[in-house]
Amino acid sequence: MQFFTSALALVALLSPVIAAPVLEERAATTCGSNSYTAAQVNSASQKAYSYYQAGTDADDYPHTYNNYEGFSFPVSGPYLEFPILKSGVYTGGSPGADRVIITTSGKQAGAITHTGASGNNFVGCSGTS
C-alpha cells in the first residue's frame, strides 16, 4: 500500500509537467549582430506558445505572422511571431528587431529580424531562408 500511495503522489506531482506544452527544440541563431543560444530561442518560443494557449499576450505578442516575405519554414502555419531578446524573455515594452516564429500547434518554424530589411519587412536569421 505504501508503494501504491507513493506512486500515486509521484504521478500527481508530475502531472503538471507532463501537461505542459513541449516544443521541438531548435538550434541557436544569429539575427544581424545578435547571437542567440538554443536555450534563448526555446525560451522565447515556449513563452509565445504559453501566451497563445492561455489566450493572453504581452503588448500584442504573440500575433499572427503572415509570411509576406515567403520564407521556407520547415513546418506549415498558421504562424505566430514573438520577440526574442538578448536578456530575459519578452513580457512587454519595446520588442526590438528580432523574432521567433512558431505555429499555432506549437512547432518552431524559425527566426527573423527587421535588421537589414527595408521598411517593416523581415529577413531570415541564420537557419531561416
Cis, peptide link before residue 16, omega less than 30° from 0:
no
Contact 30, 126 (CB under 8 A): yes
Q: Which of 24, 25, 69, 81 is catalytic?
A: 81
Active-site residue 81, yes or no? Answer: yes
Q: Which of 24, 25, 69, 114 is catalytic?
A: 114
Active-site residue 24, yes or no? Answer: no
Distance of alpha carbon 24 from alpha carbon 106, whole angstroms: 8
Amino acid identity of residue 65, one-letter, is: Y
> Which residues, listed in sequence order, are joined to residue 102 by a DSSP beta bridge?
80, 108
| Residues catalogued as catalytic | 63, 81, 114
